[in-house]
């Protein structure tokens, strides 16, 4: 074999893994309640941002409106099966109105820092059956009431199963050491989320989801049930826009959450 042929063969061997890496489809975690099991390819970065996120929570004696701006998750592929994750909310505004007296308390500030690692246990590209484990921690750098006031941690086990070319199922069990409502200490919280996604076109996906969350806060135990619907538009192989809406199905859950966002892979 001539030297020229050896050089061509060597170049093809080096380029093959890179080409395979480029073929991995973009899989943002936005929108929705579920967490997909796919990971970002090594050397790639995904920036996923909620342009605005509004939550309404009406209780017997109060109404609370929470608006988050620029809530962002950054995912970095550090291995064929592993991604590092960093999240932060630059600014949030919470307005609480006492329904008896009419008094209003409004505060704003930055949120806490989120750090996590998602490791794929099966099919990191999300093909067919995909499973991952996702431990995370939150650091109390934010300001109340947007920041929790203490550190928290948890672990998720995302599972994704492609039923067909158009249908896919996501299931995400989660267990957390959630920060107490008082802002000091932690308690057990756990949830289960399931969603069914349907590709109405090659670049449009609609997803319906349900979630049950149990929170054993010392100030009051509660079980929340939510239903959600979201639409994602893949505007390019590295760009996605989305809208999301969720409704609380019981008194303990927030009444409504609405947001719109964008995800970009670099």
Domains by residue range for the chain, with CATH: 25-265 (2.40.160.40)
Q: How many CB atoms lie within 10 A of CB 219?
A: 9
For residue 259, the cross-strand partners are 53, 244
Residues of the chain with pLDDT under 50: 1-21
Residue owning tokens 């959630």? 178
DSSP 34: S
Q: What is the pTM for the complete model shown?
A: 0.88
Does a cis peptide bond (omega within 30 degrees of 0) precede residue 31? yes
Give whole-number Cα distances, 249 to 16, 216, 228, 255, 259, in Å: 50, 19, 10, 8, 18
How high is the pLDDT of residue 16? Answer: 40
How high is the pLDDT of residue 116? Answer: 98
CA distance 105 to 206: 37
Kindly provide the residue ranges of all beta strands, DSSP E only, lying in 59-103, ordered along the sequence.
Answer: 62-77, 82-88, 91-98
> For 207-234, how does the pLDDT look when each residue is reduced to its tens digit (9 = 90+)?
999 999 999 999 999 999 999 999 999 9
The two tokens of residue 56 are 């309404």
């Amino acid at each position: 074999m001539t030297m020229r042929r050896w050089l061509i063969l060597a170049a093809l061997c080096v380029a093959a893994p890179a080409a395979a890496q480029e073929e991995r489809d973009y899989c943002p975690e936005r929108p929705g309640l579920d967490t997909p099991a796919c990971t970002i390819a090594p050397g790639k970065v995904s920036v996923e941002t909620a342009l605005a996120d509004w939550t309404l929570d009406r209780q017997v004696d109060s109404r609370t409106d929470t608006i988050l701006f620029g809530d962002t998750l950054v995912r970095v592929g550090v291995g064929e099966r592993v991604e590092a994750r960093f999240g932060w909310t630059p600014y949030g505004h919470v307005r609480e109105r006492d329904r008896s007296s009419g008094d209003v308390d409004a505060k704003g500030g930055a949120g806490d820092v989120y750090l996590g690692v998602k490791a794929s246990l099966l099919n990191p590209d999300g093909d067919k059956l995909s499973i991952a484990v996702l431990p995370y921690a939150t650091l109390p750098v934010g300001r109340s009431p947007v920041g929790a006031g203490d550190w928290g941690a948890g672990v998720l086990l995302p599972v994704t199963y492609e039923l067909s070319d158009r249908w896919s199922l996501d299931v995400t069990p989660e267990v957390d050491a959630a920060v107490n409502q008082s802002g000091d200490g932690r308690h057990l919280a756990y949830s289960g989320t399931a969603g069914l996604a349907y590709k109405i076109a090659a670049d449009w996906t609609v997803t319906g989801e349900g979630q049950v969350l149990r929170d054993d806060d010392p100030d009051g135990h509660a079980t929340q049930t939510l239903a959600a619907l979201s639409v994602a538009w893949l505007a390019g192989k590295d760009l996605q826009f989305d809208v999301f809406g969720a409704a609380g199905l019981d008194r303990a859950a927030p009444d409504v959450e609405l947001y719109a966002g964008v995800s970009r892979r670099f």
